[in-house]
Amino acid sequence: MRPPFPLITPCPVLGFGALVLCAGFTAQSQASGFIEDSSVKVESRTVYFNRDFRDGHTSNEQGASKRDESAQGFILNLQSGYTEGTVEFGVDALGMLGLKLDSSPDSSNSGLLPSTGENPRGSKDQYAKLGLTAKVRVSQSVLKYGALLPDLPLLKYNDGRLLPTMFNGAMLTSKELKDLTFTAARLDKYTARDSTDAQDIRVHCKNKRYACNVTADHFDMYGIDYKINERLTGQYHYAELEDIYRQHFVGLLANQPLGSGLLKADLRVLDSADIGVARAGSIENRALSGMLGYAIDSHTLSAGWQRMIGDNSMPYLDGSNPYLVNYVQVNDFAAAQERSWQLRYDYDFKAVGLNGLSFLTRYVNGDHIKVPGSEQEGKEWERDSELKYVVQSGTFKDLSLRLRNATYRTNYEKFARDVDETRLIVSYNFSVL
């Protein structure tokens, strides 16, 4: 009997290496710590997504003029403890299920659900994916192989819709030296947020910045994060997407009490260039970005600045988020030669007795964009706002409700489209074990 939905394992599933690991911890699976330190968590996530491209109600050469869908998602996150011994073994699992609540062919393709691939194009009623990860720990070093959710400067998994993107490969995280974290990884596949199929890793081609559907055999990255003191952290990371691009990153995180508040700084420099046979085309970019914020009582006021230098936009992996301070709800402000600035204000309503309620608003303006095939200077801006409430007690403690709104406008319509967008997200996390 066929299952009601396909279960797809994005790491085919773990190969010979993982079988060896599994054999290692199977015999010891009852050892102290493996079960006792395990956790099983479930997140229920309901998402309504509406994006209006402000160009009428019929399809044009860039696609339908509206995306309007809602869906229900469930994310199961199982993490085992470790077996005893000098070399400790464990296993993790990620199970995800997405269910369509409301959609129509003329307003599908929102990123919440996979496409049916039929004409007229619509969204599937349900989809699911499963990722398994074997792990080994020696002292303060952990090696994982299988499904991963990397959250690093040069690879941050995308979680902007119903279900997150999963990557597949090996990742080593070591904290053997005090205040220093070393990371190394090789990834070869990813499963997109609205897909069940593992795909070869590739560069993101937003607005056709680079050749689309050009894949690579693997993506390598290495990084060091050093906590200099309680108020200052330095970062250096390096990555290569085989025969497509290489990337250096240097970052500095700082905070300093000032008056009765706290001053925070986040500075980022990324240098990118094509590598090998440059299969996605020429890549030459230096991205400078920084955010300075001051928090006092329940108020935080921040200002950001971002500059793209070179002939191309900043590259990053498909299925990931670029590590830029002006990457916001709709846009990344990373087009070739673009310069942009941001103003942001955050408020925590606990100051007036409404614990769990928070608000943010921001405005980002970009100009000086090099538009391919045009002498016109590209310009764009985005305005975002978000209201969030987390239930503080009772039966539904930790239930989260988020209302997000964005307005985006541009003058180079051939490569980008005006957007009015609303997202409503209801999320509830609970522990099974």
* Residue range 265-307, pLDDT digits in tens: 999 999 999 999 999 999 999 999 999 999 999 999 999 999 9
Does pLDDT of 7 surpass 50? no
| 141 and 211 belong to one structural domain | no
Domain count, the chain: 2
| 142 and 271 belong to one structural domain | no
| 316 and 383 belong to one structural domain | yes
| 212 and 96 belong to one structural domain | no
**Residue 308's domain spans which residues?**
201-433
| 433 and 307 belong to one structural domain | yes
Does pLDDT of 22 surpass 70? no
61 lies in some domain: yes
| 263 and 343 belong to one structural domain | yes
| 403 and 287 belong to one structural domain | yes
| 329 and 233 belong to one structural domain | yes
pLDDT band, residue 17 (cuts 50/70/90): very low
CB atoms within 10 A of CB 398: 13
427 lies in some domain: yes
**Contacts of residue 86, Cβ cutoff 8 Å, sequence gap at least 6:** 138
185 lies in some domain: no
| Residues 56/126/320/146 CA torsion (nearest 10 deg) | -170
What CATH number corresponds to the domain at position 414?
2.40.160.10
The pLDDT mean for the chain works out to: 90
Q: How many residues does the chain have?
A: 433
| 43 and 134 belong to one structural domain | yes
How confident is the model over 346-402, as pLDDT tens digits? 999 999 999 999 999 999 999 999 988 788 899 999 999 999 999 999 989 999 999
Mark which of 156, 172, 188 sits at the end of a domain.
172
CB atoms within 10 A of CB 271: 18
Report the predicted TM-score, pTM, of the whole model to 2 decimal places: 0.89
| 215 and 152 belong to one structural domain | no
pLDDT for residue 33: 80
182 lies in some domain: no
**Contacts of residue 404, Cβ cutoff 8 Å, sequence gap at least 6:** 329, 384, 385, 386, 421, 422, 423, 424, 425
Q: Are 116 and 124 in contact (CB under 8 A)?
A: yes
Cα 431 to its chain centre, rounded Å, is 23
Q: Are 338 and 366 in contact (CB under 8 A)?
A: yes
194 lies in some domain: no
**Contacts of residue 373, Cβ cutoff 8 Å, sequence gap at least 6:** none
379 lies in some domain: yes
Mark which of 127, 157, 172 sits at the end of a domain.
172
Please state, in angstroms and rounded to a whole number, the distance separating the CA atoms of residues 291 and 179. Answer: 24
183 lies in some domain: no
pLDDT for residue 32: 60
CA nearest 358: which of 322, 403, 397?
Answer: 403
132 lies in some domain: yes
| 118 and 260 belong to one structural domain | no
pLDDT band, residue 15 (cuts 50/70/90): very low
Does pLDDT of 12 surpass 50? no
| 347 and 406 belong to one structural domain | yes
Does pLDDT of 26 surpass 90? no
